[in-house]
A = this chain, B = another copy of it.
Amino acid sequence: MKTELTISTAAINEAALAKRREMGKGMGAVIYFSGVVREIEGNAPITAIDYEAHEEMARHQFALIFDAVEKSWPVESVRLVHRLGVVPVNEPSLWVEVTAPHRAEAFDACQFLIDEMKQKVPIWKKPLPA
């Protein structure tokens, strides 16, 4: 399974990422998920979320999750970008791409990946009030 992990304060350029997609001829399904900062956090209006990470541990924990994906589904590739620092409302903080032969495994793997991330990857958010 090919994997690509980016953890960076740079804005996520979804178009540029999608353009770099490489997909084997046996692959039938691609999912992209973008997690976008909402204008409300815990019932209060915000302007942005400031993301902090234990970056080295985050990379390690993502690698463990990618290993688990590879063991569970015939996924061809996973690319994941998590932005750190201040992410304004309406901009993505997370971008995930999964390519697989069939739709069901692409969906399952993508959801597993995000569920696991939300349990294990040491990234925290601080909402910046409006």
Secondary structure at the A interface, as helix, strand, loop or mixed, is mixed
Contacting residues, chain B, for A19 (C-beta < 8 A): 15
Interface, chain A (partner B; CB < 8 A): 14-15, 18-19, 23, 25-40, 89-90, 92, 101, 103, 106-107, 110-111, 114
A103 touches B15 (CB 8 A): no
B111 touches A23 (CB 8 A): no
Contacting residues, chain B, for A39 (C-beta < 8 A): 25-26
Given the complex of chains A and B, what is the CA–CA distance between A42 and B14 in angstroms?
34
**13 further interface pairs, Cβ-Cβ under 8 Å (given A15-B15, A23-B36, A30-B33):** A14-B18, A15-B19, A25-B38, A26-B40, A28-B38, A30-B32, A30-B36, A30-B92, A31-B32, A33-B107, A35-B103, A103-B114, A107-B111
